[in-house]
Amino acid sequence: MRLADFILAHMDTILLEWEAFARTQLPAATDMSSLNLQDHARQILEAIAKDLTTSQSRHEQFEKSRGHAPKLAGCPETAAQMHALLRARSNFDINQMVAEYRALRASVLRPWMDEREPDSHHEDDMIRFNEAIDQAIVESVDFFSMQVDFTRNLFLGMLGHDMRSPLQTVRITAAYLATLNAGENVDAAAARLVRSGARMQALLDDMVDFNRTRLGLGLNIAPTEINLAQLFTDTLDELRVVHPDRQIDLDVVGNCKGVWDGRRLQQLFGNLVLNAIKYGARDAPVCVSVTDEGSEVLLEVKNTGTGIERSTLDLIFNPLQRGPNHQGTGTDNSLGLGLYIAREIAKAHGGEIDARSDAKETVFFVTLPRSK
């Protein structure tokens, strides 16, 4: 009997073996019904049986072996992909899901081999079956990983949102304590709380923004008419208080008014300046320029110090990316998202961000259209 016919003829038996194995995958399978344990197994097997009886060229065979089987018309998701989605939602881990396919392979091939006549050789059936199982695994792993990533990012986004309220209470209380003039010890403790609360808020904001982009939601922007010269002057005044030992110069050329989200551009600007402070030479100033270029405004943030290699520059705006010469201090508790979020803010405004570096200096530059 050919393998496709064997699968269809023994479908119920194979499904019972699938279910029996799935039931051993604890704790996820605890209290799952027979229907949920079998899930899309029947559709997966029917698809494999159909594939076995479909003619296949050598090129198609090669592509399938690499996990590139053609998609069926009118089927946005395969049975294997939907199986992975439901297994992820049922708290199976990826190893348990892949183990199901290993068990399925054995539960089909072993009895088929036992049933065949000794002189009945259909090696091509076995090859085609293994290819189909491997393709199903590729599809399942891909969808399983996507679901896990989505769930994790959704959880982190909800966590970040829910943490904002108690953190805001801590910051307000710390600011209140600082106004009481209750003595040197209380003032110092309140100041530490204010600084720590601000750092926590920055980390939380970065995490929430990162998860919005990972969920495909993009960054929220609320454009209004603003003057970048005044906005960045105010921001630098705040940064100079936090870093009194560093010189930060600002040069404004021309009309720098436009329609942007001021809060977001403060965030972008602050990320770039803090990055320049962190990695620049301590005895050299950080130089900032804002230049009117007609339909757009050019922002440049420059620091003197060790150059950044081209291979690092190509990756520097990726999330959670740090250069090989990262020299953050022991108090540096950033998530490595500052430049990534700066890029996303620039993109949300229809602008671009890039960097250049040589042995003497590194320059980050942002072009911002006056209106998106």
Q: Which comes out higher in pLDDT, residue 229 or 152?
A: 229
CB 133, CB 48: distance < 8 Å: yes
Task: Indicate if 202 and 259 belong to the same structural domain.
Answer: no
Task: Mark which of 181, 196, 218 sits at the end of a domain.
Answer: 218
Q: Which pLDDT value is given to residue 9? A: 93
pLDDT band of residue 1 (cuts 50, 70, 90) is: confident
Tell me the C-alpha distance between 153 and 215, whole Å.
7
Nearest to 107 by CA among 12, 1, 5: 12
Task: Indicate if 111 and 139 belong to the same structural domain.
Answer: yes
Each as own residue / partner, the long-range contacts of residues 315-322 (CB below 8 Å, 24 or more positions apart, any chain) are 316/355, 317/342, 317/343, 317/353, 319/210
pLDDT digits (tens, 9 = 90+) for 67-89: 676 665 555 578 999 999 899 88
Task: Indicate if 181 and 246 belong to the same structural domain.
Answer: no
Which residues lie below 8 Å from residue 369, measured CB to CB, with a gap of 6+?
A: 258, 295, 296, 349, 350, 351
Q: Which helix (H) or strand (E) holds 276?
A: helix 262-279
Any idea which residue has 């420059």 for tokens? 302
Q: What is the mean pLDDT of the chain?
A: 84
Tell me the C-alpha distance between 36 and 90, whole Å.
9
Q: Is the dihedral of CA 199, 205, 208, 214 positive or negative?
A: negative
Task: Indicate if 210 and 63 belong to the same structural domain.
Answer: yes
Q: Is the pLDDT of residue 262 over 80?
A: yes
Q: Which comes out higher in pLDDT, residue 119 or 86?
A: 86
Domain range for 293 is 224-369
Task: Mark which of 218, 246, 278 sits at the end of a domain.
Answer: 218
Task: Indicate if 179 and 102 belong to the same structural domain.
Answer: yes
pLDDT band of residue 335 (cuts 50, 70, 90) is: low
Least confident piece of the model among 90-94, 170-174, 266-270, 294-298: 170-174
pLDDT band of residue 329 (cuts 50, 70, 90) is: very low
3-state secondary structure 77-116: CCHHHHHHHHHHHCCCCHHHHHHHHHHHHHHHHHHHHHHC
Q: Give me the number of domains the chain comprises.
A: 2
Task: Mark which of 156, 191, 218 sits at the end of a domain.
Answer: 218
Nearest to 162 by CA among 209, 204, 206, 200: 204
Task: Indicate if 77 and 2 belong to the same structural domain.
Answer: yes
Task: Indicate if 242 and 115 belong to the same structural domain.
Answer: no
Q: Is the pLDDT of residue 134 over 60?
A: yes
Predicted model pTM = 0.56
Task: Indicate if 4 and 118 belong to the same structural domain.
Answer: yes
Q: Is the pLDDT of residue 366 over 90?
A: yes
Each as own residue / partner, the long-range contacts of residues 315-323 (CB below 8 Å, 24 or more positions apart, any chain) are 316/355, 317/342, 317/343, 317/353, 319/210
Q: Which pLDDT value is given to residue 104? A: 92
